[in-house]
Amino acid sequence: MEICHQILEKIKAYDTIIIHRHMKPDPDALGSQMGLKYLLEKHFPDKHIKAVGFNEPTLTWLAKMDTVEDSDYQGALVIVCDTANTARIDDKRYDKGDYLIKIDHHPNDDQYGDLAWVDTNSSSASEMIALFAEATNLDLSDFAARLLCAGIIGDTGRFLYPSTSVRTLRIASRLREHNFDFSELTRKMDTISFKIAKLQGYVYDHLEVDENGAARVTLTQEVLQAYNVTDAETAAIVGAPGRIDSVSLWGIFVEQADGHYRVRLRSKFVPINGVAKEHDGGGHPLASGANSYSLEENEQIYQELKNLVKNS
């Protein structure tokens, strides 16, 4: 793949490479970021390769970030993984380097970077990093393979979502050949705390489902506090409504500390990213995020979801 070789040429040309990813990271954001970091460290031991961003407490078992000084950006190559739009890039210094590369699998709504590799057919950004390694003949370390595997498992919902292609499974199988504790990784990714299990109970108890399968639940600050969970931890229950046979698409409205709502949207068949885009968000056709700034807007979003599934 020509684009991979173009990216490799840029990597070769810079001494410092700083790798970013999106805010509120998930395993794919961290997997692609750290998988790329370990890959490059293995093959370019003399370069300074850093991963930057907030250390998400629920995922520090998977990856920890480096300290990056402002001065590190001078003359650096910056690579942003798994992030569709600049507003969602974690650490706003991403534009302080000399050259910017975007590697992403979301729809290319915000075209940024001096060079962009966007592949919406890829299950995950981690799958793209594994492809990059394959295309450029750079073999992966076991560390890198573990991180990329975590990213693919995360973004495919353990190979359940339609984005799981023949290629995804082939790449995952190659990654699995590496020497790391696969069952420990999958067990960790499948483990939830007792409080999250209880929150899941709340979600099932309070889920509103219309006659066509449009569902919603609201998690207010009060609920989050009662269950002692953070906004980031709600990631663990986003898929829960989808396990119900009568649910076709759903929104989880998570009240933020400032009073606005982060709306996590998921769908089994009908694309919902149009609704996300109308409400200060975006994302994949079947997994998107929006922001709502009032209870009225919450109602409006739910109505739009109901209309979508009704007219599908």
Q: Which residues bind ligand AMP (CB under 6 A)?
A: 84-85, 88, 106, 238, 264, 281-284, 287-289, 291
Q: For residues 84 and 103, which CB has a smaller minimum distance to ligand AMP in the complex?
A: 84
List CB contacts of 291: < 8 A, sequence separation 6 or more. 260, 261, 262, 263, 279, 280, 281
Output phi, psi for 265, to 5 deg: -110, 135
Q: For residues 9 and 109, which CB has a smaller minimum distance to ligand AMP in the complex?
A: 109
Q: How far is the CB of 88 from ligand AMP (least distance, A)?
A: 6
Q: Evaluate the CA torsion angle 176, 177, 178, 180 in order and state its sign.
A: positive
Token pair 């395993």: residue: 27
Q: For residues 130 and 265, which CB has a smaller minimum distance to ligand AMP in the complex?
A: 265
Q: How far is the CB of 303 from ligand AMP (least distance, A)?
A: 20
Residue, CB closest to ligand AMP:
289
Q: How far is the CB of 190 from ligand AMP (least distance, A)?
A: 17
Which residue from 268, 246, 28, 56 is spatially nearest to 152, judged by alpha carbons? 28
Q: For residues 16 and 288, which CB has a smaller minimum distance to ligand AMP in the complex?
A: 288
Q: For residues 186 and 291, which CB has a smaller minimum distance to ligand AMP in the complex?
A: 291
Using alpha carbons only, give the angle 214, 263, 157 rounded to the nearest 5 degrees: 75
Q: How far is the CB of 178 from ligand AMP (least distance, A)?
A: 26
Please say whether the beta carbons of 235 and 28 come within 8 A: no
Q: How far is the CB of 238 from ligand AMP (least distance, A)?
A: 6
Q: How far is the CB of 92 from ligand AMP (least distance, A)?
A: 16
* Paired tokens of 178: 């590496």
Which residue from 185, 235, 220 is spatially nearest to 58, judged by alpha carbons? 235
- Alpha helix (H) residue ranges in 93-157: 125-135, 142-155
Q: For residues 175 and 265, which CB has a smaller minimum distance to ligand AMP in the complex?
A: 265
